[in-house]
Amino acid sequence: MKLFARSALIAATACAVLALILAGETFGVTKDEQAVLAVDHSLLELLARGDEAFLNDQLALNRLLNEDFTWIDSTGKSMFKAQVLKNFPQPANVGVDLQVRVYGRTAIVRANRGKLQVLRVWLQRAPSWRLVLYQEVRMVAKSEPPVAAEAGSGVCDNPCKTIPFQPETPSEREAITSWQGVMKAMAESDPDSYAPLIADEFTATDTHHDAPYTKADRLAQLKTQRQAGARSAPPALLSARMFDFGDTVMMIAREQRANAKAYFNSRMWVKRDARWQMLFSFNTRIE
């Protein structure tokens, strides 16, 4: 029965990917996007073998995972490459229609079903693509309100001014400056400062909300807060790792709202019109 279930899982994944690729030939999915979908399918096929995986499967999976690979499940449990190779974890939302976007040497794959959202970030490394991040987010049934700033304080130190982390490359430093601008705009309910730092295709997906937020949703929220004279307190940054991919920059941060559990928040930026714009924010509470 166990073997049958896994075979069915692999078949469902194959059908979904094949359908998407065939649809791409009609609706304009690029060759790079098709290549990412193909390697993404290979990843899911391997992971479906679970504890029945052989040495050859481990070697094949090893070739698909980047050296600094991170896996974050919906409870906030994180694993690195060596742990994943030892015990194949089971990905969520296998068989759903995939969304894929390629940004130079990086690609973002989304596999969403209801309240459970899945993100996979791929990096092009010769001769193929390698997975850098797998992350799950289970959204809440009802959105939680933003944390209000203390009356009269009007201060956002961490992360708006200082952070306990030192970016290494020029691109990382520029991306951090852009992100601090976003945090300051959110703290001050300033949609005009927020808008140019966010990509049009941006989505924010987290365990504090019941649905992903688009750029338009965020702008509307900030405008409403500004009209009401409300200010929010951005969560403090506890720690972070950054990845400079050339065309894009990614950060996996550990953050914490006041009087709440810490969470992982992954973000990616792309440089457009001489500024770094955020592509996504993906937030998983650590249970």
DSSP bridge partners of 275: 272
Contact 92/268 with Cβ under 8 angstroms? no
pLDDT digits (tens, 9 = 90+) for 17-39: 454 444 444 457 899 999 999 99
Do 93 and 180 fall within a single domain?
A: no
First and final CA of the chain: distance in angstroms?
32
Contact 38/17 with Cβ under 8 angstroms? yes
Within its chain, how far is the Cα of 226 from the centroid? 28
DSSP bridge partners of 276: 271
Contact 269/279 with Cβ under 8 angstroms? yes
pLDDT digits (tens, 9 = 90+) for 183-238: 999 999 999 999 999 999 999 999 999 999 999 999 999 999 999 998 888 999 99
> What is the predicted pLDDT for the residue at 151?
47
Do 112 and 219 fall within a single domain?
A: no
Do 132 and 174 fall within a single domain?
A: no
* Residue 147 falls inside a structural domain: no
Do 10 and 91 fall within a single domain?
A: yes
The enclosing domain of 184 has a CATH number of 3.10.450.50
Give the C-alpha separation, 143 to 217, whole Å. Answer: 13
Q: By residue range, what is the domain housing residue 130?
A: 2-138
Do 198 and 268 fall within a single domain?
A: yes
Contact 270/107 with Cβ under 8 angstroms? no
> What is the predicted pLDDT for the residue at 154?
57
> What is the predicted pLDDT for the residue at 27?
55
Neighbours of 190 (CB within 10 A): 17
Global confidence as pTM: 0.89
Do 6 and 124 fall within a single domain?
A: yes
Q: Provide the domain count of the chain.
A: 2
Picking from 175, 198, 194, 180, the residue whose alpha carbon sits closest to that of residue 245 is 175
Q: Give the chain's residues under pLDDT 50.
A: 1-14, 16-17, 19-26, 151-152
